[in-house]
């Protein structure tokens, strides 16, 4: 996530089955997960093209803190970016981490993403600097990262633990982004997104 100041330029901020129905194969589930995430990321690029073509008209859907009317922008802000560089930085981790979550089912991905988007967006609304506007999918990226890192411990499943370990090795350095170390970067969105992911992992844990 990133924000820009109104007084300055933009800145980058096992096995299961259902009676009467054939079980979904791993290949089918992976295919469905890939299609959903490619469509999700593709939508973000389409929106950014529209934003640029319209003179950045969509930037108004970013979150301005502590203004009641801005609560309606908590969800759309997660789908908008301040430029193609900002979007490109989020695209690959969103694609990879979202795919890994979607392998457990598209409903689980939807539920998890909803919790993360609301947690990140509301956290930004409450705590972002005055006179700023925040948007971007990085809050979702941090939330998915948090979800995958703790899911194995919550579910007590070896496979989930291995996935979490690999995700930690590849993307663990992103966690520095929850600290207020870079100007123009919404560490608030990162932090609350991460918290939302952890909450989702606990709330949607598998029952044994």
Q: What is the pLDDT of residues 35-73, one digit of tens each?
A: 999 999 999 999 999 999 999 999 999 999 999 999 999
152: CATH: 1.20.1540.10
- Tell me the CB-side half-sphere exposure of residue 113, using CA atoms within 13 A: 24
Asked if 205 contacts 155 with a C-beta cutoff of 8 angstroms, the reply is yes
> Taking 70 as the threshold, does the pLDDT of residue 21 lie above it?
no
Paired residues of 133 in beta bridges: 4
Query: Which residues, other chains included, contact 165 with Cβ-Cβ below 8 Å and sequence gap of 6+?
Result: 152
Domain assignment of residue 1, yes or no = no
* Structure confidence at residue 16 (pLDDT): 42
Domain count, the chain: 1
Instruction: Report how far Cα 161 is from the mean position of its chain's Cα atoms.
Output: 21
Domain assignment of residue 13, yes or no = no
- Tell me the per-residue pLDDT of 94-137, one tens digit each, with 9 for 90 and over: 999 999 999 999 999 999 999 999 999 999 999 999 999 999 99
This prediction's pTM: 0.89
Residue 185 DSSP SS3: strand
Domain assignment of residue 121, yes or no = yes
Domain assignment of residue 65, yes or no = yes
pLDDT tier, 7 (very low <50, low <70, confident <90, very high otherwise): low
Domain assignment of residue 96, yes or no = yes
For residue 187, the enclosing domain spans: 25-203
Domain assignment of residue 208, yes or no = no
Domain assignment of residue 91, yes or no = yes
Domain assignment of residue 67, yes or no = yes
Asked if 104 contacts 152 with a C-beta cutoff of 8 angstroms, the reply is no
């Amino acid at each position: 996530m990133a924000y820009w100041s109104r007084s300055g330029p933009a800145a980058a901020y096992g096995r299961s089955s259902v009676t009467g129905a054939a079980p979904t194969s791993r290949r089918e589930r992976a295919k469905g997960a890939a299609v959903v995430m490619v469509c999700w990321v593709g939508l973000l690029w389409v929106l950014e093209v529209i934003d640029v073509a319209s003179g950045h008209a969509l930037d108004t859907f970013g979150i301005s803190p502590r203004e009641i009317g801005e609560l309606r922008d908590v969800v759309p802000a997660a789908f908008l970016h301040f430029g193609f560089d900002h979007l490109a930085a989020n695209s690959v981790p969103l694609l990879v981490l979202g795919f890994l979550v979607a392998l457990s089912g598209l409903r689980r991905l939807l539920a998890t993403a909803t919790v993360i988007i609301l947690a990140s967006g509301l956290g930004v609304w409450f705590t972002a600097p005055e006179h700023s506007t925040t948007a971007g999918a990085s809050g979702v990226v941090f939330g998915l990262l948090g979800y995958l890192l703790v899911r194995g411990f919550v579910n007590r499943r070896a496979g989930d633990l291995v996935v979490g370990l690999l995700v930690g090795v590849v993307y663990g350095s992103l966690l520095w982004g929850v600290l207020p170390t870079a100007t123009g970067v919404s560490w608030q969105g990162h932090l609350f997104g991460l918290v939302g992911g952890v909450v989702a992992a606990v709330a949607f844990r598998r029952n044994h």
